[in-house]
Amino acid sequence: MMTIPTAMKLFLVVVLMFLGNGHRSEGVHTNVSGRPDVLNIGSILTVSSIVGKAAKVAIDAAVEDVNSNPAVLRGTKLKITTLDSNYSGFLGIVEAIQFMETETIAIIGPQSSVIAHVISHIANELKVPMLSYAGTDPTLSSLQYPFFVRTSPNDLFQMAAIAELVEYYEWREVIAIYIDDDFGRNGIAALADQLAARRCQISYKAPLTPDATISDIRDVLVEVALTESRILVVHTYPNKGLDVFSVAQYLGMMDNGFVWFATTWLTTILDSKTPLASELFNNIQGVITLRIHTPESQKKREFISKWTNLTEKESAHGPIGFNTFALYAYDTVWLLAHAIDAFLEKGGNLSFSFYSRLSEMGGGSLRLNSMNIFNGGNLLLHSILQVNMTGVTGLYGFTSDRNLIRPAFEVINVIGTGLRRVGYWSNYSGLSIVPPETLYEKPPNRSSSSQQLYSVVWPGQTTQKPRGWVFPHNGRQLKIGVPNRASFQEFVQEVPGTDMFKGYCIDVFTAALNLLPYGVPYKLMAYGDGRTNPSGTELVRLITAGVYDAAVGDIAITTNRTRMVDFTQPYIESGLVVVAPVRKSNSDPWAFLRPFTPQMWGVTAIFFLVVGAVVWILEHRMNDEFRGPPRKQVVTILWFSLSTLFFAHRENTVSTLGRVVLFFWLFVVLIINSSYTASLTSILTVQQLFSPIKGIESLVSSSDPIGYQLGSFARDYLIEELGIRESRLVPLNLPKDYVKALKDGPKNGGVAAVIDERAYIELFLSTQCEFSIIGQEFTKNGWGFAFPRDSPLALDMSTAILKLSESGELQRIHDKWLQRSACSSQSTTLVVDRLQLGSFSGLFFICGLACLLVLLVYFILLVRQFIRHYSEPESGSSGQSSRSERLRTFLSFVDEKEESVKARSKRRHLEGVSNLSIYEDTSVNGSKRSFTEMSSKRSVSFGDLA
């Protein structure tokens, strides 16, 4: 605690500062080029801290390098004034006000996020940019603090890296140990957000006061040790962080099973204090920590190489170690120098004006007129945010939300007396084993297969990944409701005289719990009296009422229940089925007719006749085997059709169209033959069972009573979905009730069938061979574990159940509890339905269509042939008699053998040719005679003339 005299002294310092001879500068001295000779910049840091020592050296070196390079500010020099806040927020305020009296155009710092929160208000009012290389608090946002510029990676990205590490190793809960101030609280809040985005969480927060003693730390860690999670994240300052690990080592919390993550404070110590004392190294073995990643470059190597020379004059009180924040402090000065150059190039206003709002306060004896507003502050801030340069930390610039571009961290594992880099994290590509700068040219890849790290040595010197949790000593137990069943206790059963449960469902639940990456304390609580089966829907409703935190057992996943809770992945399939009495089918002398239904027999017989008739039509005019007297032709049709059933037809098909029809028909016969043979073989060789119930359809359409298991969702489903009257439903409690009701039947006060879930029925039928499942499942359900809505445990348990299934463990548990007896493996089968016409309708359709098309083609060809061989009747005959004669001629032509038609046509053709020759000869001779007579007449005429 600060003493009163000390507090008074500090108060007097502030008063004197305000009442002192503050003055306003009348302007700045400028050189020939119009630029000022000197510009004042301030620096607020904690000189005695590890970061402050290195930062001061880097800032001074950067100012010297800027001033010695005339190409940067072109004649203007920077004058740096450094003030020590000495870990005090109050002194930070005083120093900030002090800078405002000296026309300081920018402040480098403060180093502390806590101080930055306070003095950022002053910077906002007086418009003086503050560039902090170590104020990493994510809540120092540009909206609230527009003149605060963070020049190192935001802690938001550091927490994202830790969250991805937790997700990478498949843990779900972490414990946060942090310093209880703005820096610690806001960093952990960012971690909580990043974990939540990955469905993880902080299960316990352990804050430490900034002035916590070893005893205070011990008390906090003892509380931490009593919790279930063994994943711990330490976010504090360097001086407190090592104390935490020292106490953890003393309490045995650095042994097997623990996982420790430390933020960048640890690498800052390890980089600055090399070599570290062996005792301190022993306290941090196996710890995973982060270091801000800066790419290797020539500038970086040159700066590091001259570090020793830079620290010689500052190391009077001991060596000054190098750390990453020194690089960012160095680049911050260069960033400011480039911004000032751009600011001056744009004609920035370097004047200051009186803060008029202070005069409204009166101020009494305070000299508030010494506080001035920097008139060029907005333009300088804009110039800072527009800088893009390459510094000792690599590419340097800002994103639209004013964070540094390409934030990246190295993942460090503390081993022995050294550090081992096991990978990198970047906001661009996540976890990788190659430097992030090599991935920026490639498309971003955040797939799980691309996230890689080298192996880690965990606390306790083990390379096996810790489970990450233990069963806690003080954690709240989940109240899990378990149905206390009266029947089918192989699934779940309360052990008599205890509060323990056993059964298939319980074994699946405990096996899945063992695969979770964290501990789940729970207590199983019986629901039901054990004499009647409780309602699963009511058990689920009690979760929403807060009576239970979860429900485990034979709970079917239904639509109504999913509206109330979240279910896990089903661990067993169990839809509704119909079970009914069956009897052995008696031998039947007419068994050979049973494979086909009457409709099937009828259609098959019709097609035999139709195909025979079609083949006869196609073959009749050209095949002698299909000609003869009508009686013979009818016999031929019948014999040919039936003989194709055995592929024993003797008649040859000579026409192309007939062969096409026969091809399709023989294919149909082959399928029918094979199906008939298979079905008849099954009927005659396999023991058959018969039941008057054919399935759920026949059961719904009847008026017989139906049994269901008491407490099952089947009752609501039958009433609401299938429309069965409630008066037909009979609740049954025990398997012996099933047997009695089914044996009695509907005529003796029993039931025609029982509808229940397949899992129960399969167990029931393993000892009751006189009953059987009729038909197929008519619903598709499964059993799952129920949790409150949006419970992350439901998702994790689903993943665990899938792992059990993939490993075969789920099947082994099933076989342990639900192994069927010999009864259910007998070679019996329920009488199946006969082969229906619908199963072969496609074949018959194809065959019928082929017959129809072939007949159409045949008729077209026949008509064309008839027209070609028979001319039109004489025009003298009447129209009616001509059509009748034509039709008789066509029918005679159809019945006539094709060879006769062709022969007659050929004979007619030859006769026509002969007649034509005679006609031509007669014409030639007549012409000759006429010519002779004419010649004679002409001779006589000429004689007369002579």
Check which CATH number belongs to the domain holding 221 and give it. Answer: 3.40.50.2300
What is the arithmetic mean of pLDDT over 765-786? 89
Query: Does 916 or 12 have the greater pLDDT score?
Result: 916
d(CA 885, CA 18): 138
Please report the DSSP string for 402-413 in residue order: SPBSS-EEEEEE
pLDDT beyond 70 at 18: no
Query: Does 244 or 367 have the greater pLDDT score?
Result: 244
Query: Does 692 or 428 have the greater pLDDT score?
Result: 428
Instruction: Identify the residue whose tokens are 């004669």.
Output: 885
pLDDT beyond 50 at 9: no
Number of Cβ within 10 Å of residue 936's Cβ equals 9
In a domain, 254, yes or no: yes
d(CA 240, CA 572): 52
Q: Which of 368, 367, 350 is nearest to 358 (CA)?
A: 368
755 and 769 both lie in a single domain: yes
pLDDT beyond 50 at 827: no
Domain that holds residue 174: 155-307+405-450
Q: Which of 718, 152, 163 is nearest to 411 (CA)?
A: 163
Alpha carbon distances (Å) from 542 to 481, 561, 564: 9, 11, 10
DSSP H helical ranges for 131-202: 155-168, 182-196
Check which CATH number belongs to the domain holding 494 and give it. Answer: 3.40.190.10
Query: Does 889 or 863 have the greater pLDDT score?
Result: 863
pLDDT tens digits for range 596-615: 788 888 888 888 788 878 88
* pLDDT for the residue numbered 279: 85
What is the arithmetic mean of pLDDT over 51-74? 92
- The CA-based diameter of the chain, rounded to the nearest angstrom, is 185
Positive or negative: CA dihedral 578, 580, 583, 586:
negative
d(CA 303, CA 253): 40
438 and 535 both lie in a single domain: no
* pLDDT for the residue numbered 22: 37
Cβ atoms of residues 485 and 491 within 8 Å: yes
* pLDDT for the residue numbered 536: 93
565 and 653 both lie in a single domain: no
pLDDT tens digits for range 498-546: 889 999 999 999 999 998 877 788 999 999 988 999 999 999 999 999 9
pLDDT beyond 70 at 810: yes
Beta bridge partners of 44: 83
d(CA 789, CA 565): 5
130 and 56 both lie in a single domain: yes
* pLDDT for the residue numbered 5: 37
In a domain, 931, yes or no: no
269 and 418 both lie in a single domain: yes
pLDDT beyond 60 at 488: yes
* pLDDT for the residue numbered 910: 66
* pLDDT for the residue numbered 927: 52
DSSP H helical ranges for 349-470: 356-359, 377-385
pLDDT beyond 80 at 356: no
Do strands 352-354 and 372-374 pair parallel, antiparallel, or not at all (unpaired)? antiparallel
**Helices H / strands E in the chain, number of each:** 31, 34
What is the arithmetic mean of pLDDT over 581-591? 67
- Joined together, the tokens standing for residue 642 give 């039936």
Reported as a pLDDT band with limits 50, 70 and 90, residue 23 is very low
Phi-psi bin for 316: left (phi > 0), alpha (psi -120 to 50), beta? alpha
* pLDDT for the residue numbered 458: 96
In a domain, 635, yes or no: yes
What is the arithmetic mean of pLDDT over 16-27? 37
51 and 70 both lie in a single domain: yes
Q: Helix 50-67 crosses helix 265-272 at what angle (to 10 degrees)?
A: 70
What is the arithmetic mean of pLDDT over 902-906? 63
d(CA 653, CA 662): 8
CA angle centred on 791, ends 466 and 446, rounded to 5°:
60
161 and 196 both lie in a single domain: yes
d(CA 377, CA 107): 12
> What pTM value is reported for the model?
0.66
Q: Which of 714, 732, 734 is nearest to 724 (CA)?
A: 714
In a domain, 455, yes or no: no
In a domain, 325, yes or no: yes
What is the arithmetic mean of pLDDT over 422-436? 94
pLDDT tens digits for range 689-734: 667 787 888 889 889 999 999 989 999 999 999 999 999 999 999 9
508 and 635 both lie in a single domain: no
d(CA 165, CA 860): 82
487 and 556 both lie in a single domain: yes
Mean pLDDT of the chain: 82
Q: Which of 333, 352, 345, 281 is nearest to 28 (CA)?
A: 352
The single-letter DSSP state of residue 726 is G
Alpha carbon distances (Å) from 10 to 64, 95, 369: 33, 12, 21
* pLDDT for the residue numbered 892: 67
**% of the chain residues with pLDDT over 90:** 48
Cβ atoms of residues 187 and 207 within 8 Å: no
191 and 283 both lie in a single domain: yes
**% of the chain residues with pLDDT over 70:** 79
Number of domains in the chain: 6
Instruction: Identify the residue whose tokens are 């007949």.
Output: 855
Question: Of 780, 810, 826, which one is at a domain's C-terminal end?
Answer: 780
Please report the DSSP string for 481-549 in residue order: EEE--SS-TTT-EEPTTSS-EESHHHHHHHHHHTTSSS---EEEEEES-SSSPPPHHHHHHHHHTTS-S
In a domain, 903, yes or no: yes
Alpha carbon distances (Å) from 140 to 148, 236, 645, 686: 7, 17, 92, 82
* pLDDT for the residue numbered 943: 42
In a domain, 591, yes or no: no
51 and 161 both lie in a single domain: no
The single-letter DSSP state of residue 134 is S
* pLDDT for the residue numbered 559: 92
Do strands 753-757 and 576-581 pair parallel, antiparallel, or not at all (unpaired)? antiparallel
pLDDT tens digits for range 232-277: 999 999 889 999 999 999 999 999 999 999 999 999 999 987 677 8
114 and 245 both lie in a single domain: no
Query: Does 308 or 621 have the greater pLDDT score?
Result: 308
Check which CATH number belongs to the domain holding 705 and give it. Answer: 3.40.190
What is the arithmetic mean of pLDDT over 185-200? 94
In a domain, 593, yes or no: no
